[in-house]
Every structure is written in C-alpha cells, then in structure tokens.
Amino acid sequence: MKFHSLVLNFLCLSIIVACNTGPYLKTNAIEAFDLPLDASLNIKIDRDIPAKVDPIFVDFIKQAVKQNLSDRGNLISDEANLVINISLSSDEFIRDEGHYYRYPYYYRSPYDFDRIRSIDEFYLRISIFDVEADQTLWTGLTRWRPGSVFEPSSIDKAENLVGLILETI
C-alpha cells in the first residue's frame, strides 16, 4: 500500500511539474549590469513592426514596461541617458505533419504527402542602451505563438510577459 501511494504521489507531482510551463527567455548583460532603482529611463519602440504583429499588443507591451519600471522606482523621462529599446519581430516555420498520418488511409481519408502547416512565432526584445557610452548594457529576448498563454492580448498578460523579462535585471 505504501508503494502505491508513493507511486501515485510521484505521478501527480510529475504531472503538475510538466503542466507548469515557462516562456522562452534569454538574457545577456555586460559585466553583471544592475539597474539602479532611481535611474532615469527613456522608452523607445522600434517602429519597424511586422504586419503580423498586432499594434495593440505593442501598446500593451509599452504600457507594461512603463508600469514595471515605475513600480521599481525608476523615472521615465525623454532626456534620459539610459534608453529602453523595445523591438518586435515575427518568424514563420513550416511543420511537417506527415508523422501523424503514417498509414495510407487514416480514418478513411487518403494519405496526403504534402500535409504541412506554417506556425507563426513572435519575438520581443527589450534592451537597455547607454547613450553616453554608446553601448548596450542589457538585453532580454522572449517569444510566443498566437493563442498561447504568453501572448500579450491584454494588459495583464503583457505585464506578466514583461515582468518575466525584466525580473532578470
């Protein structure tokens, strides 16, 4: 009986850990950069936004960055030496779905050798750039797919996504 309860607990814990997902996140900084709490920052958005990216999502992301940095005690100013660059891009990759339909007739439908689909991915890069030193001090990159939990389709989801990136500073 003890063995069964141990196995059951292990399986439940495994399922909970497997269902807890996190976004793709990659950060890089020079010489252990640490953002001061009272730093003055200027926020700029790269206006070369792909057509697939919803401009409302971009506004949500900008509001979320402002809110996150203001909550930390930073000041948002147009004359600041530290610039927060926000850039978005999209990518599309092709997935071959033939591996799922291996049999000549799958549920009475003919086998389609050209069964492929394209999947969109969107990338968000937030960088801290020092204007005086003319160098990037910190950068964070994340991605999401349409319909995912991390898609910034509301201000709350955008704050969650931006918070995951900016908490690594």
Residues 46 and 55: their CA atoms lie apart, in Å, by 12
Predicted TM-score (pTM) of the model is: 0.75
Would you kindly state where each structural domain of the chain is located, as residue ranges?
26-31+38-166
Burial 141-157 (b: 16+ CB within 10 A, else e): bbbbeeeeebbbbeeeb
**What digits encode the pLDDT tens for the residues 72-126?**
888 888 888 899 999 999 888 776 665 555 555 555 555 555 666 788 899 999 9
**What is the residue-wise DSSP string for 34-63?**
---TT-EEEEEE-S---TTS-HHHHHHHHH
**What digits encode the pLDDT tens for the residues 119-141?**
889 999 999 998 888 899 999 99
What is the mean pLDDT of the segment spanning 25-49?
A: 84
Burial of 21 from C-beta contacts in 10 A (0-12 / 13-18 / 19+)? exposed
What is the mean pLDDT of the segment spanning 18-23?
A: 64
* Residue 3, pLDDT above cutoff 90: no
More confident residue, 62 or 168: 62
* Residue 167, pLDDT above cutoff 60: yes
Protein fold of 26-31+38-166:
Double Stranded RNA Binding Domain (3.30.160)
Average pLDDT, the chain: 81
